[in-house]
């Protein structure tokens, strides 16, 4: 399997977390994000940026999630990058914020790359963060 990084991953390099689509559970995802980024020896400011980006992506998705939905988060770890994909089932007619929105500008400023997709009643936001070379 190849992720946004273009590097192959194995099942050992992928962590799946599923939590209720409720803001009260976002701390679990922020903590997992920080732990995995620390494992990759990201700098403290990179870890905090990624935590904020994951929080922002989840907030975007929670706004369009169906009632009693679950937020699925998939972390893919490579040698120098962490990809976070957050997915939620969406209400009919839901749309993600446009790429010119403030929320989207936050995501792209805090990560190496950010992508969004909405199809078949689900929305996904993918965030790629590469570790800086100086660690």
The answer to whether residue 37 is domain-embedded is yes
Find the angle CA(58)-CA(63)-CA(68) to the nearest 5 degrees.
Answer: 90
The answer to whether residue 135 is domain-embedded is no
Answer yes or no: pTM beyond 0.85: yes
The answer to whether residue 50 is domain-embedded is yes
The answer to whether residue 8 is domain-embedded is no
Name every residue whose Cβ is closer than 8 Å to that of residue 51 and which is 6 or more positions away in sequence: 30, 33, 34, 37
Tell me the pLDDT tens digit for each residue of 60-97.
999 999 999 999 999 999 888 999 999 999 999 888 88
Amino acid 3: pLDDT? 46
pLDDT less than 70: residues of the chain: 1-12, 133-135
The answer to whether residue 19 is domain-embedded is yes
- The domain of 36 spans 13-130
Q: What is the dihedral of CA 109, 10, 20, 33, to 10 degrees?
A: -40
- Half-sphere exposure of 53 toward its Cβ, with a 13 Å CA cutoff? 30
């Amino acid at each position: 399997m190849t992720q946004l990084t273009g590097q192959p991953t194995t099942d050992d390099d992928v962590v799946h977390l599923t939590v209720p689509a409720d803001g009260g559970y976002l701390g679990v995802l922020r903590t997992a994000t920080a732990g995995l980024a620390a494992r990759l020896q990201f700098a403290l400011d990179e870890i905090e940026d990624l935590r904020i980006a994951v929080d922002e992506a989840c907030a975007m998705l929670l706004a369009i999630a169906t009632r009693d939905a679950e937020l699925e988060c998939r972390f893919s770890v490579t040698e120098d990058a962490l990809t976070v994909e957050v997915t939620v089932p969406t209400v009919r007619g839901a749309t993600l914020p446009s790429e010119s929105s403030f929320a989207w500008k936050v995501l792209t400023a805090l990560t190496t790359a950010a992508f969004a997709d909405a199809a078949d009643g689900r929305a996904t936001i993918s965030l790629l963060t590469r570790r800086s070379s100086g660690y």
